[in-house]
Structure 1
Amino acid sequence: MTHLDTLTDTRAAGATSSLDIRELHAMDDLEAVCVLFGEIWGTHPAKGPVSAEVMRALGHAGNYVVGAYENGRLVGASVAFFAEPSAATLHSHITGATAGRGIGLALKLHQKQWALRRGITRITWTYDPLIRRNAHFNLTKLGARPEEYLRSFYGAMDDAINGGDESDRVLTAWGLSAHHGPAATSTPDDSAAAHAVHAVRDVGGRPEVTPTDAEFVLIDLPDDIEALRRTDPGAAHAWRLAVRDALGGLLDDGARVLGLHDRRGYLVHRTPVSAPARPRTESSL
């Protein structure tokens, strides 16, 4: 068991001192995780994102399977496994937590320390690029960065969060440091944002797409894509396609996401294309 008051990073997350994070192995504990995930994703525990049997196997093989307990009650859990390159990377498959009390951040910081103790220097995970609060958490609070756009990665997902939408994801990488101080926020350079051009702009709750070859590009996100999927599925799908084309196309071309600008959209730096070298000529008299 790891108590939060022994982890400086986690204490900085603002979680309560009564929160305990520990590795899980017993089937009863893992089945409780399935129930929690079912509540978070709005599914039956037996049809949740990962089964107790799979978690049992992953934990037994030395991977990361933990639960977060507040006053003895399970309030969060996270599952991760080693990925290529296996000596340096941990892939965080799923993290779910009761909202609003810093539990998700506490889990990520615990995962960071667990990885560093094993010589892991990079953690990856996927998230839905349309969910603004997740983008803020991943890019601004943790300083992770999207590396690859994955179109309909899990197919259509009909749960309370995904609402039947295509499951586009971005593969995000978090470079780890052995620094044990409070986690610093990571925001993009204001000068880059001042020169950016919108490829996708929020206009009245719908995406307005403008093709651009600007070096710095802004891609707005909807205020609440999960609510929009319930109230206006057509608008939600328009956002999916707009961000897929803009962000996906840029990442495919090697562009780099600098961060989340003004908590509203991605600021992306397109690598300038070098002018072709002029051919050398030879002359003779």
Structure 2
Amino acid sequence: MSGPALRELRHSAEFEDAFRLFDTIWHPEPGGEPITVELMRVLSHAGNYVAGAYLEGRLVGASMGFLAAPAGDVLHSHVTGASIGRGIGFALKLHQREWALARGLNRITWTYDPLVRRNAHFNLAKLGARPEEYLPSFYGTMADAINSGDESDRLLAVWRLSEPHVAAAARREPYRTAVPAGAATGLGEQDGWPVFGRADAGTVLVAVPADIEELRRRDPDAAKAWRHAVREVLGGLLEQGARVTGFHDRSCYVVERRDIS
């Protein structure tokens, strides 16, 4: 089957379809929707990014972003979701990148939960984005079906659209991070719980749980322990000026410290 058809959304019926799509993905509490029909309408009319992906005439993915500071340089992608797999999310991000480049923008930013492995792998390995800021409890406590009342720590991902590794990712060449032999495990895992290690090497690995969404339902105490451990280790390293260079083996962040040669 051919890939999705991607286009900007401009009509109220299309925004209503996108709203329903997001509702089926996140199942938010009333008043907690990630975006409203009215706001999509206004943002689209004002020249921001609101787009959808269609298969056989049915909306299967949507994305919304708005122009951000500094003016003329950044698009902030607020929400992107797909009801099925099959590369819909990747296709939407490529469409978003082309839209931004056509308008002279250099970066796209978005936030994501650092504990969700598949999102970290998608953002870092498949797209070539890099987390540049740790944002504790960015949205407060979220009560939707995915977050299950957890604190909403987020990483700010920055997608530098013209970087060679990002252009390679757009050609479907995933970015692979080499881990040096002397890398230290700053945060590991044992029996489903986080285990603190060393964070004093030039390269530090920070693990995240295999399935945080299932863990929130099955063992909320363990999920909370992971939230605070990743906040302490990964957030602490970023605050000290370290940079995340990749996501290794679909399981851990690779962090390079600048204060160690």
- Would you say same fold, with TM above 0.5? yes
Question: Is 1:131–2:116 an aligned residue pair?
Answer: yes
Q: Hey, what does 2:146 align to over in structure 1? A: 161
Larger deviation: 139-148 or 40-49?
40-49
Report if the CA contact (8 A) 1:199-1:219 is conserved: yes
Q: Hey, what does 1:189 align to over in structure 2? A: 178
Report if the CA contact (8 A) 2:29-2:143 is conserved: no
Give the TM-score of the pair, scaled to structure 1: 0.86
1:8-52 CA-partner distances (Å, limit 9, x unpaired): xxxxxxxx5252111112111111111110100022686421001
Structure 2 residue aligned with 1:68, among 44, 53, 65? 53
Q: Following the alignment from structure 2 to structure 1, what is the Cα–Cα distance between the partners of residues 102 and 152?
A: 33
Report if the CA contact (8 A) 1:87-1:120 is conserved: yes
Question: Is 1:242–2:229 an aligned residue pair?
Answer: yes
1:124-143 CA-partner distances (Å, limit 9, x unpaired): 00000000000000000001
Q: Hey, what does 1:277 align to over in structure 2? A: none
Q: Write the letter of the residue equivalent to 1:166.
A: E
Q: Hey, what does 1:5 align to over in structure 2? A: none
Q: Secondary structure at the match of 1:213?
A: coil
Q: Following the alignment from structure 1 to structure 2, what is the Cα–Cα distance between the partners of residues 45 and 156?
A: 15
Structure 2 residue aligned with 1:112, among 97, 101, 105? 97
Larger deviation: 83-92 or 238-247?
83-92
Structure 2 residue aligned with 1:224, among 211, 214, 218? 211
Q: Write the letter of the residue equivalent to 1:186.
A: Y
CA shift, 1:188, in A, is 1.2
Count matched residues: 257
Q: Following the alignment from structure 1 to structure 2, what is the Cα–Cα distance between the partners of residues 102 and 183?
A: 11
1:112-170 CA-partner distances (Å, limit 9, x unpaired): 01111111111100000000000000000001000000000000001111110000000
Q: Write the letter of the residue equivalent to 2:259.
A: P
Q: Following the alignment from structure 1 to structure 2, what is the Cα–Cα distance between the partners of residues 174 and 18?
A: 23
Question: Is 1:49–2:38 an aligned residue pair?
Answer: no
Report if the CA contact (8 A) 1:25-1:56 is conserved: yes
Question: Is 1:39–2:28 an aligned residue pair?
Answer: no
Q: Secondary structure at the match of 1:116?
A: helix
Report if the CA contact (8 A) 2:138-2:154 is conserved: yes
- Structure 1: where are the runs of 5+ without partners? 1-15, 275-285
Q: Following the alignment from structure 1 to structure 2, what is the Cα–Cα distance between the partners of residues 227 and 172?
A: 24
Give the TM-score of the pair, scaled to structure 2: 0.94
Q: Following the alignment from structure 2 to structure 1, what is the Cα–Cα distance between the partners of residues 4 and 84?
A: 14
The ranges of structure 1 where at least 4 consecutive aligned residues each deviate by more than 2 angstroms after the TM superposition are 43-47, 177-181
Cα-Cα RMSD: 1.7
Q: Following the alignment from structure 2 to structure 1, what is the Cα–Cα distance between the partners of residues 246 and 107?
A: 18
Q: Following the alignment from structure 2 to structure 1, what is the Cα–Cα distance between the partners of residues 256 and 205?
A: 9
Paired-residue identity, %: 56
Q: Hey, what does 1:252 align to over in structure 2? A: 239
Q: Write the letter of the residue equivalent to 1:28.
A: A
Structure 2 residue aligned with 1:80, among 65, 85, 95? 65
Q: Write the letter of the residue equivalent to 1:203.
A: Q
Q: Write the letter of the residue equivalent to 2:240.
A: D
| Superposition pairs of residues 269-284 of structure 1, within 5 angstroms | 269-272=256-259
Larger Rg: 1
Q: Secondary structure at the match of 1:242?
A: helix
Q: Write the letter of the residue equivalent to 1:169.
A: R
Q: Hey, what does 1:59 align to over in structure 2? A: 44
Larger deviation: 212-221 or 100-109?
212-221
